[in-house]
Copies of this chain bind each other. A is one copy, B any other.
Amino acid sequence: MEVDRFSSVLLENAVRELSSLPGIGKKTALRLALHLLKRGELEVEQFGTALIQLKKEIKYCRVCNNVSDEELCQICGDSRRDSSLICIVEDIRDVMAIEATRQFNGLYHVLGGKISPMDGIGPGDLAIQLLLDRVQAGGIRELILALSTTVEGDTTNFYLYRRLSGFPIEISTIARGIGIGDELEYADEVTLGRSILNRTPFYTSAQSF
């Protein structure tokens, strides 16, 4: 099916915009555009406005750089949380994933990406200076590196470690190992190897039962 010959410029524009989203091809974009056409005018207006407003009015927390409606996000503004413990993550999805575990009571620092020379993303494009200022200001006891274990994640971890090693703070990383409920025989060697090297006293892990 050719999707280049539209009978309408309006439809063509809408399809071009929708197919500019990651993972959405021309056919899917056309399906979505036709779906929007079947909705009410008010509903579609609400749809478009929500996206425009998001970009126009969103703020980034001045402390942790997380997406927020205010200058200071809800997490950083919560005085019951431990402000001496900071978990460094890539983006808001990681914050949401960790929050969902209810196991972390510290604050976050959202880098906004990973160092990736291939994509033209250097340390200056991430919220690293903000992190250094935050550490410099004092009151931080421990930083937890929680970036993904890709080449870019490791590069970023290493860069941060070098920049931060001068400060009198602990730098840790989240535990890597066999997922709970996973079978050993299906685990990859690197993960299984790491889980043996980083074994923990049984008493500690039994605490969680």
The residues of A with any CB-CB pair to B shorter than 8 Å are 1-3, 5-11, 13-14, 16-18, 20-23, 28, 30-37, 39, 41, 44-58, 66-69, 73-75, 91-93, 95-97, 99-100
Bound complex: CA A30 to CA B14 (Å) = 20
Give the copy number. Answer: 2
Cross-chain contact of A14 among B41, B45, B54 (Cβ < 8 A): B54
Nearest CB in chain B: distance from A48 CB, A: 4
Contact residues in B for A46 (Cβ distance below 8 Å): 17
Cross-chain contact of A47 among B32, B51, B74 (Cβ < 8 A): B51
Contact A74 B7 (CB under 8 A): yes
Contact residues in B for A96 (Cβ distance below 8 Å): 1-3, 5-6
Contact residues in B for A57 (Cβ distance below 8 Å): 10
